[in-house]
Structure 1
């Protein structure tokens, strides 16, 4: 009887420990490859994943690599990130997406966001991505004409503007779109490149020397020095990326960039749960916001017409 008791206890311990192992939640590994600095985007992504039931340190491990505006380091960062064998990689902006694509053809990649995902070779189509990449697009190219119209309403006498570019591979085509858009409203546009954040002061000095009256800043993860230099040199600036307005930028028109990271979390969740990225359509934003910073306008000595203010979705006083 005693021997049978020990035998039954032993079975209970063996099967009990097996059940405990079976009930233990899976720990998912998420890689984040940033073209810029994720000061604003990463907390938003973290909160969105938490809302979907993932607990960092228990059911989620987040591995972060950031280029902080120096895109030349992205291939190495992507290689290091992929070596850790994450279950999914979130890639911020086109430079990081391109680096992640080169680093792996098997690990799912969530774009957040891409300017031209089809033209960049990331996906086959928006409805059927077809490979290991899916996620969000931003539509900045389609918004250029209206963005420049807003600038023209605030600066009706401007005859020449600068277009600020970086080493972002989409900027070549975006500049051509901006150049044609400016020409259609009687404004000349000249390109000024700042491949890295360290190149920004020289680029702004060149704009000023060239007689540019304003600057159109093409989409990139925010480089905080840009609005600072624009104010120092009294250069009104309009941005494709809306978060610049919170950093002291004058105006922006486009999607809510941080909201895209909330949506990126839902893509990660679907992939974790077994859906192939090839079968998840790429989403484009349907809502766009015009934002204006009146504090910056006053600092630049600009009078913003009431007809412009009533069109703004957000006015920072």
Structure 2
């Protein structure tokens, strides 16, 4: 993908359709430092992450009026970086005042080798240590901080599912190979210790065309419920998964509040509503002179049990004790 940089002045006004400014990068006299949000859309106006960060930044930009707000578009995967995108990353990162905002682990990994003296602020659902963004010891040797949403709630979600439907004998876990390779075996071992008579069955799907086979297995009477951990397939095929699960009339535990609001039965989730405000706060602190590596990584502080009241389970009911603990009941 050919990289394109879009810049809007972050001084009292946010332009949701920023103009192309590649020529500004090529100007040797450019002295204004940049806050660059990394994304794969053609322009900032087409990227919800850029829009949400820009809105949060607008409320804070008076505290850092020296920087331009920018959108740098390119491939998310490091192996696919083209020469133009890499050049612009390097050119921006040569200025120690530049700040990159990476809304995913993939973008953060792409930027990290080219970071130079600039700073990086990330948000990721993946393990930031496993992806090289943080050191295992907790020490940070680069100018990096961010928001870690590394989800460790699968065992608790399954426990809640068992409390809600205590007669379940087997749970189908629908996930892609990436999530399964990293987490399923460990989850299965921990779950078996708590529920030795209940079986977890991995139902793997990496793309939409895999779902027919998954739901043929899920329809088996031996599978009493389904669990959708926060994997790529759950994100990209959310609507299909919800619709087909509703048609099965079987209990299912999801991983986000939004899934319940859009038709799913129940979810236990991290409250991620703080993410873009937190990213903007971290950028502001760096802009004001704090080294990124000295700023603590932000993590979720609130968790939400969401339940849909009207849901056809063929006569089965969620245990009243679980319903009474819900933070959100969707009509």
* Residue of structure 1 equivalent to 2:88: 84
Kindly tell me the number of residue pairs found equivalent between the two proteins: 283
Structure whose alpha-carbon radius of gyration is higher = 1
**Offset of residue 263 of structure 1:** 1.1
* Residue of structure 1 equivalent to 2:54: 46
Structure 1 spans left out of the alignment, 5+ residues? 1-23, 68-72
**Offset of residue 312 of structure 1:** 1.0
* Residue of structure 2 equivalent to 1:290: 305
* Residue of structure 2 equivalent to 1:193: 204
2:328 to 308, 314, 317: 314
* Residue of structure 1 equivalent to 2:6: none
Alignment of 1:149 with 2:155, yes or no, is no
**Offset of residue 52 of structure 1:** 1.3
Gap change, CA 1:182 and 1:40, over 3 Å in 2:
farther
Contact 1:148-1:181 within 8 A present in 2 as well: no
Deviations 1:180-208 (A, max 9, x none): 34322232112222223454444333433
2:280 to 265, 287, 291: 265
- By relative contact order (CA 8 Å, sep 6+), the higher-ranking structure is 1
The correspondence of residues 121-136 of structure 1 with structure 2, limited to 5 A, is 121-124=132-135, 128-136=139-147
Using the alignment, how far apart are the partners of 2:50 and 2:316 within structure 1? Answer: 34
Query: What SS does structure 2 have at the residue aligned with 1:161?
Result: strand
**Offset of residue 178 of structure 1:** 2.6
Contact 1:91-1:111 within 8 A present in 2 as well: yes
1:207 to 218, 229, 238: 218
Gap change, CA 1:172 and 1:125, over 3 Å in 2:
same
Using the alignment, how far apart are the partners of 1:208 and 1:255 within structure 2? Answer: 29
* Residue of structure 2 equivalent to 1:61: 70
Query: What SS does structure 1 have at the residue aligned with 2:273?
Result: helix
TM norm structure 1: 0.73
Structure 2 spans left out of the alignment, 5+ residues? 1-29, 93-97
**Offset of residue 110 of structure 1:** 2.4
Contact 2:271-2:301 within 8 A present in 1 as well: no
Range that drifts further, 104-113 or 256-265: 104-113
Contact 1:126-1:283 within 8 A present in 2 as well: no
Alignment of 1:165 with 2:175, yes or no, is yes
TM norm structure 2: 0.70
Using the alignment, how far apart are the partners of 2:81 and 2:271 within structure 1? Answer: 27
Alignment of 1:238 with 2:253, yes or no, is yes
Using the alignment, how far apart are the partners of 2:305 and 2:285 within structure 1? Answer: 31
* Residue of structure 1 equivalent to 2:129: 118
Using the alignment, how far apart are the partners of 1:90 and 1:203 within structure 2? Answer: 37
